[in-house]
Amino acid sequence: MPLEVRTTATLAEAASLLQADRSARFLAGGTLLMRAVNEGDVSFSTIVRTTDPAFARIRAAGGRIELGAGVTMAQILASRELAFLHPVARAVGGPAVRTMATVGGNLFAAHPYGDFAAALLALDARVQLASGFGAREVALDEFLASRDRTPRPLVTALSFERPSDPAAFRFRKMTRTHPKGAAVVTIAAHVPTSGGRVSGARVALGAMAGRPIRARGIERALEGRPLTAEGVAPAVAAAAREGDPPTDALASSWYRRRVVGVVLRRLLLGEP
Amino acid sequence: MRIRKELFADERDDDLRLVGRPVRRQDIEGHVTGRSTFFADHPVSGLLHLRCVRSTEHHARIRSIDTTAAERVPGVRRILRWADLPKKAHNILTIFNFGIDDEPALADGKVRYLGEPIVAVLAENPRAAAEAVAKVRVDYDPLPAVFDVEEALKPGAPLVNEYIGRNWFRYWGDYDCQQIRFGDVEAALRSADLVVSGRYQMSPIEHAPLETNGCIVVPAEDGRFTVYTCTQGLFFSLDNTAAQLKIESNRLHFIGGTVGGGFGGKVDTVVEPLAVLAAMLTGRPVRYVFSRAEEMQVSSPRGAERIYIEDGVMRDGRIVARKIIHYHDAGAYSRLSTYGTIKSAAHHPGPYYIPNVWVDSWCVFTNRTPSSAMRGFGVTGGDFALESHMDVVARAIGMDPMEFRIVNAYRDGDMKAHRKLTQGAALIECVQVAAELAGWPLSEEARRASSRVGGGGERARIPPTPQSRTRAPAAAGRGEPLRAGVGEARRGMTPPPSWTGGQPATAPAAAEPGRREPPLRESERREPPSEPPRSGSGHGAIRFSSVFGSRRR
Amino acid sequence: MTRAVRLELNGVEVAAVAEGGENLLTLLRERLGDTSPKAGCLQGTCGACTVLVDGEPVLACLMLAEAADGKRVTTVRGLADGPRLHPLQEAFMDGFAAQCGFCTPGMLVAAKALLDREPRPTREQVIEAIAGNVCRCTGYTPIVEAVLEAARRMAGRRG
């Protein structure tokens, strides 16, 4: 059956179309869906897209940041208010991919992709969803756990608190090629300190499971500890027990388990 | 960059006009303006798109293929099967009367590797072709598969390729492997100060050209076909296409030459025969282009190679014996691996004078993707093993690895294991220059060494050579015990399991003790073929001589 | 379902009809006759189809053709000024920055996107700018050199 493209003026209309047609898929930046079209994926016959300006809007002036799901990596990089997220956006693809790839689409990127989603997890982001029945909001880790369920709700926006101290947000991606490469391991961490000790740590891992995950074991091991070699040692040890790392062309499961602690230590201690 | 014109100056006209100077490529203006015409850039309208249903099994019988639903997809024009093929199996070297036709262009009732084409769908657009491919039902009866060369040679291993009839290619009528016999290796190993053995393994390597394999075929006037193709061997592919379709080659007009990256991965002539057949049967222009996934999964890679080396070496650094078993993983079909295996034997024992050499080079079939040509195939894997082993042996006898190479390098006048006299040797000078550039200290003696001094004489002799023919394990007995490598020399490498304790488990190694095969009768004795020496070029001598003899003027 | 797409291709107003779900690469190559962007992977990983859309680099194979409606599209064929080649093209020719030539159009377009934004780039910026463009003939060093050389020449011309 030939493909049909339906372009809507509003997100609500797009959500209704998706709700009504299970063989419809939503097109944001195209880096996932157009690839599927090119490779002969015939599991869907309708493409839904939207020209709703809200879809690509950034609200970053205040303490609560809201990103339309259609905001691209290039838009993030062009926003001075989102400087703390620049290293994350720059970790996605090359310049042309960044012109296209969206923050919403990144939530659906299969392993080993999804670096931005890992960062959003560490920021404790919430996902705004629209369906034919209306809008709702869920926590990102809850959303990721069921992202492959159909019918997929339409992700319209993401929101999270701006880190009070930008230095408390850290991100590192280990790749085999530079400057562009898919992740062997990605770690995003929000590690605010109070009186020299970590308080309220949030750590997320990419490429360490089928999808980006929160690393609760690492978080517990960091709580109340100073960011010193000795202080982070329990968290580094805990890293190897997180997730269920896949084996792929880039790295084996064994290697990912071995190296994740090393990357975590460097990230937490600010080592190169 | 500096050209060392002082070396061998008397052997060369100093008329280098281009080497060492920037030259503009003749095709580069087309490249930078986007005007170079690759095969896919030819505008053709009314195309049918060809897409193959590919095996999801490594090794299986096909019980049935149901194309009923696929044929009903709007836009599908035809589905090609094995029964439609004019020639039921083919190998690209049989046009030169070498090898065996062992590969059907579409599955013949059995699949022998993952991704093997089973049927080919022709449709008006890529989406219809993809839809039809998804709707073809193939019922498989899976067979045990073999993925390792030594496993494939064991008695009782699953037979991969029935056209070949055994899991190894038989050379020159009656040789289970390509072999070199020069001197008495067993005796020399026994009398050596030290024996050092090693096992080396190369994985398959995909060429990954940026332009995937593909072609566009347009039916032309007078029953001819114009073929726009990315092949690296335009007339080789033309002749092979004609042979597979059983048509005169003058019915084919191949247009190409602008190749988006080849590296050896575009000579197998995999896309053209099916696409021309499709154009013949439909009367329509046909486009057949590998997707990136197909290019990575089913286009032939450089094959996996496993190499065992056993060196007998004296304390003064001379290698007196080198015994090599070299396995080439051809995958499920010959392609060009039968030839690559010959090249590997021709390249051993490397650019060194060794008075006793014994080489068995095996072309082995497994259920992996058929491997084929890639940049020095046969030679590259061997060099990786040989030069790694040279370092290991040098360490074992406590010698500098550069000096160790100089001591053993071919010199002019030396007899090679292939019974060719060395001319134009230059390894010593290369090592000297490399050491100089790297600031690597060499002894006075090594610095004074020359490729022109010290060769010939006793070293020009063909030593008495006991003849022994290696038999595949199904037919031959277990090998004579091979001495285990010296402990210190094995540092950093796993001893080959089949060689430890002197009991080669898989044993295509040597004749049974006490039952050495009688020397060949003169009529049976066959040398591996070698290229005739070529005349030199007009631009100075080419000092390359490791395989095919001298090409120095 | 087909859709009419009008766009400005290398400074010229053009129109074509796209099939449903057709990507910009197919529209450019098969409907508009500009075969300079290449299909290397159709996955967004090789960069051979890189074009500029409203001045920003995009992968034509991943962009829905109809999404380019009303946009300004630049391919490598739009780099030259009449018979005068762009300094990037000249520098690529002089510096042997192309071998098989398949990655070259995308590489040049990605480099142009950089120089339009950053006329005096550092080596790191050049490497970053072409990070999404794969060259399998392994010519990255001459490519990076050629982009830097082009930037120098352009700066010289500006005085």
Q: Report the CATH fold assignment for B150-205+303-401.
A: Aldehyde Oxidoreductase; domain 4 (3.30.365)
**pLDDT of amino acid B221:** 85
Give the pair of three-digit tokens for residue C119: 């006329």
Q: CB A39 to CB B126 under 8 A?
A: no
Cβ–Cβ gap A42/B291 under 8 Å: no
Which residue among C59, C63, C66 sits closest to A5, beta carbon to beta carbon?
C66
Q: How far apart are CA A192 and CA A200, in angstroms?
A: 7
**CA–CA gap between residue A51 and residue A20 (Å, rounded):** 19
Per-domain residue ranges of chain B:
41-143+207-297, 150-205+303-401
Provide the pairing of β-strand B357-365 with B319-331. parallel
A179/C127 CB distance under 8 A: yes
Token pair of A154 as six digits:
């339409």
Q: Does the distance separating the beta carbons of B131 and A42 come in below 8 Å? A: yes
pLDDT given for residue B166 in this prediction: 96
Of C30, C37, C89, the CB nearest to B33: C89
Alpha carbons A69 and A117: distance in angstroms, whole number: 12
Residue ranges and CATH numbers for the domains of chain A are 4-50 (3.30.43.10), 53-161 (3.30.465.10), 166-269 (3.30.390.50)
Q: Do residue C19 and residue B125 have CB atoms under 8 angstroms apart?
A: yes
Beta carbons of C110 and A179 less than 8 Å apart? no
CA C34 from chain centre, in angstroms, equals 12
- Two tokens, residue A240: 């190897």
d(CA A176, CA B57): 31
SS (H, E, C) B463-483: CCCCCCCCCCCCCCCCCCCCC
Residues with Cβ within 8 Å of A82's Cβ and at least 6 positions away in sequence, in order, are A58, A60, A65, A76
> Of C19, C76, C102, which has the smallest distance from its Cβ to B33's Cβ?
C76
Alpha carbon distance A158, C81 (integer Å) = 44
Of A2, A30, A47, the CB nearest to C62: A30
CATH number 2.30.42.10 is the correct assignment for the domain at B41-143+207-297: no
Contact A94 C58 (CB under 8 A): no
Both structure tokens of A58: 């950034």
Provide the total of helices (H) and of strands (E) in chain C, helices listed first.
5, 5
Tell me how long chain B is: 553
The tokens describing A147, both together, are 């992202």
Cross-strand bridge partners of residue A138: A127
Q: Match 């009839």 to its residue by tokens.
A: B165
User: Which residue ranges of chain C lie beneath pLDDT 50?
Assistant: none
B31 has a chain C CB within 8 A of its CB: yes
Q: For residue C45, which residues of chain B lie inside 8 Å, CB to CB?
A: 292
List residues bridging with B329 in a β-sheet: B364
- Which H or E run includes B272? helix B271-282
With contact defined as 3+ CB pairs under 8 Å, the chains touching C are A, B
In this prediction, the answer to ipTM > 0.90 reads: yes
pLDDT for position A149:
80
CB contact (8 A) between residue C85 and residue B32:
yes
pLDDT tens per residue across span A223-233: 999 999 999 99
Amino acid at B102: D
pTM of the predicted model, to two decimals? 0.90
Q: How crowded is residue B251: how many other Cβ atoms within 10 Å of its Cβ?
A: 17
User: How distant, in Å, are the alpha carbons of A50, B288, C12, C31, C50 from that of C61?
Assistant: 20, 18, 21, 14, 8
Chain C partners of A37 at a C-beta cutoff of 8 Å? 21, 23
Among A1, A3, A39, whose Cβ lies nearest the Cβ of B293? A39
Query: Cα–Cα distance between B391 and B384 in angstroms, integer?
Result: 11
The closest alpha carbon to B202, from B379, B339, B405, belongs to: B379
* Tokens read off for B302: 């450089």
In CATH terms, the fold of domain C87-158 is DNA polymerase; domain 1 (1.10.150)
Count Cα atoms within 13 angstroms, Cβ side, for B115. Answer: 16
b/e map B136-148, b = 16+ CB within 10 Å? bebebeebebbeb
C-beta neighbour count of B330 within 10 angstroms = 34
Cβ atoms of B32 and C76 closer than 8 Å: yes
* The amino acid at C122: T
Token pair of B436 as six digits = 């100089």
Pairs of residues, one from chain A and one from chain B, whose beta carbons lie less than 8 Å apart: 19
**Contact criterion met (CB < 8 Å) for C57 and A38:** no
Q: What's the gap in Å between the CA of A9 and the closest CA on chain C?
A: 14
Output the six-digit token pair for C97. Answer: 């920055």
**Contact residues on chain A for B291, CB-CB shorter than 8 A:** 39-40
pLDDT of residue A132: 75
**Measuring CA to CA, which residue among C82, C84, C159 is closest to residue C119?**
C159
Residues 6 or more apart in contact with residue B49 via CB below 8 angstroms: B122, B123, B124, B125, B126, B128, B129, B286, B287, B288
Contacts of residue B282, defined as CB under 8 A and 6 or more positions apart, other chains included, come to B48, B77, B78, B122
Residue B28's closest chain C neighbor by CA? C93
Find the CB nearest C104 among B24, B32, B263.
B32
Q: Give residue A238's identity as a one-letter amino acid code.
A: A
Q: Are B229 and B211 in contact (CB under 8 A)?
A: no
Spatial CA neighbour of B407 closest among B439, B435, B372, B447: B447
The candidate with the shortest Cα–Cα distance to A201, out of A225, A224, A219, is A219
CA-to-CA distance for A223 and A208, rounded, in angstroms? 22
* C21, C57, C67 member nearest A37 (Cβ): C21
Other CB atoms within 10 Å distance of the CB of residue B299: 23
Q: Please report the DSSP string for A55-113 in residue order.
A: GG-EE-SSSEEEEETT-BHHHHHH-GGGGGGHHHHHTSS-HHHHHH-BHHHHTTPPTT-
Nearest Cα residue in chain C from A45: C21
CATH superfamily of the domain spanning C3-78: Beta-grasp domain (3.10.20.30)
Q: What are the residue ranges in chain B where pLDDT is below 70?
A: 1, 474-553
- Judging by beta carbons within 10 Å of its beta carbon (0-12, 13-18, 19+), is residue A76 exposed, middle or buried? buried
pLDDT band with cut points at 50, 70 and 90 for residue A216: very high
Q: Name the closest residue on chain A to residue C21, using Cα atoms.
A: A3
Please indicate if any CB of chain C lies within 8 Å of the CB of B130.
no
CB contact under 8 A, B32 and C137: no
Chain C nearest CA to A123, separation (Å)? 27
Size of interface B-C (CB pairs under 8 A): 104
C140 and B CB contact within 8 Å: no
* Number of Cβ atoms within 10 Å of the Cβ of B14: 8
| Size of the A and C interface in Cβ pairs below 8 Å | 93
Task: Compare all CA atoms of chain A with the CA of C114 and give the residue at the minimum distance.
Answer: A95
Instruction: Please report the residues numbered 161 through 200 in chain A whose beta carbons come closer than 8 angstroms to any beta carbon of chain C.
Output: 179-180
Q: Is the separation of the CB atoms in C108 and B29 below 8 Å?
A: no
Per residue in A28-87, pLDDT (tens digit) is 999 999 999 999 999 999 999 999 999 999 999 889 999 999 999 999 999 999 999 999
* Chain region(s) in chain C for CATH 1.10.150.120: 87-158
CA angle B69, B73, B78 (to 5 degrees): 90
Contact A109, A75 (CB under 8 A): no
What's the alpha-carbon Rg for chain C, to the nearest Å? 15
Asked if A40's CB is within 8 angstroms of B126's CB, the reply is yes
Two tokens, residue B205: 């390597």
Take residue B477 and report the two structure tokens written for it: 């007995």
Question: In the beta sheet, which residues pair with residue B117?
Answer: B54
Neighboring chain B residues of A41 at a CB cutoff of 8 Å: 130
Q: Within an 8 Å CB–CB cutoff, is residue C109 touching chain B?
A: no
What local confidence, expressed as pLDDT, does residue B547 receive? 31
Residue in this structure with the two tokens 């997320």, named with its chain if needed: A204
Cross-strand pairs, B137: B66
Q: C94 and B22 in contact by Cβ < 8 A? A: yes
Of A4, A97, A173, A250, which to mutate for an interface test with C (greatest number of C Cβ within 10 Å)?
A97
Residues of A in contact with C128 (CB under 8 A): 95, 179
Q: Is the CB of B311 inside 8 Å of chain A's CB atoms?
A: no
CB contacts of C1 in chain A (<8 Å) are: 2-5
If you average pLDDT over residues A177-192, what whole number do you get?
A: 95
CB-CB neighbors (< 8 A) of A30 in chain C = 62-64, 67
C-alpha separations of B35 from A270, B32, B408, C52, C76 in Å: 49, 8, 52, 18, 10
Quote the Cα angle for B34-B40-B46, to 5°.
Answer: 125
DSSP structure string for chain A: ---EEEEESSHHHHHHHHHH-TTEEE-SSSTTHHHHHHTT--S--EEEEE--GGGG-EE-SSSEEEEETT-BHHHHHH-GGGGGGHHHHHTSS-HHHHHH-BHHHHTTPPTT--HHHHHHHHTT-EEEEEETTEEEEEEHHHHHHTTT-SSPPEEEEEEEEPPSSGGGEEEEEEESSSSS--EEEEEEEE--EETTEE-S-EEEEESSSSS-EE-HHHHHHHTT--SSHHHHHHHHHHHTTSS-PPP-SS--HHHHHHHHHHHHHHHHHT--
Hey, is the C-beta of B375 within 8 angstroms of any chain C C-beta?
no
From residue B143, alpha-carbon distances to A271, B62, B112, B329, C57 in Å are: 53, 10, 9, 19, 49
- A74 CB within 8 Å of a chain C CB: yes
What is the β-pairing status of strands B225-229 and B252-255?
parallel
CA atoms within 13 A on the CB side of B448: 4
Helix (H, G, I), strand (E, B) or coil at B140: strand
